[in-house]
Amino acid sequence: NKSGILISLTVLSATFTWNNLMSSEQPQLATIPLIVALIAGLVCSLVIVFKPTLAPVLSPVYAILEGGILGALTLVMEAVYPGIALQAVTGTFGVFALMLITYRTGLIKVTEKFRSILSLAIGGVFFIYLASWITSLFGFSLPYLHSGGPIGIGFSLIVCGIAAFSLLMDFDLIEKGSQQQAPRYMEWYAAFSLLVTLVWLYIEVLRLLGKSRR
């Protein structure tokens, strides 16, 4: 199972990073390697998206890089909000299991209309985050977006919902690839796509939990 391999690599990498940063006397020295990992992960993902034939080679690399980043991010959040790490992991995999059951039982069908609506929603979230990043470069921030108030929490809930429903498209991609006997590299591409969504969901759950504690 390619998805299982990538998820396992991510978890192992995150755990390794967490443990090393916890035991380090100078955790700040990891800043530069983590920035490099972030950039390398972004490059890996873009290469895979535009050249899926490289997915068998680059997907495991991406998983390891993302695991390192998530391990560090989670440790920082845990230092500020004790107990948030376990809650985020439990919540993410709980949603994953729920959406898998939803897909398997056919409760929600992945139709072209479903894909179109969800793609628009994902595009909207990307645009908002991009606008937030651009305005932050000029010393501004979008009102309430990152706050712990009702609007900020409500926004995070919506984004978590969009990420959760995105899992259905990944499940569908994996299943159809298996049914149509897609090339081996597409199996890795589908697993990569699922991992990207799962990482996104985890980060959004982490953000939501952080906002709710402010």
pLDDT tens-digit readout, 32-42 = 888 889 999 99
In angstroms, what CA-CA distances link 96 with 21, 93, 111, 134, 183?
28, 5, 20, 32, 26
Tokens standing for residue 107: 């409760």
pLDDT at 18: 92
Burial of 9 (0-12, 13-18, 19+ CB in 10 A): buried
Report pLDDT for 23: 84
Per-residue pLDDT, 29: 64
Give me the pLDDT at residue 32, please. Answer: 83
Task: State which residues of the chain have pLDDT below 70.
Answer: 27, 29, 143
Which amino acid does the sequence have at 212? S
- The predicted structure's pLDDT at residue 181: 87
Say what the pTM is: 0.93
Q: What is the pLDDT of residue 108?
A: 93
Provide the pLDDT for residue 171.
96
pLDDT at position 194 is: 97
**Placement of tokens 């699922």 in the chain:** 194
Residue-wise pLDDT for 95-127, tens only, equals 999 999 999 999 999 999 999 999 999 999 999
Q: What pLDDT sits at residue 151? A: 87
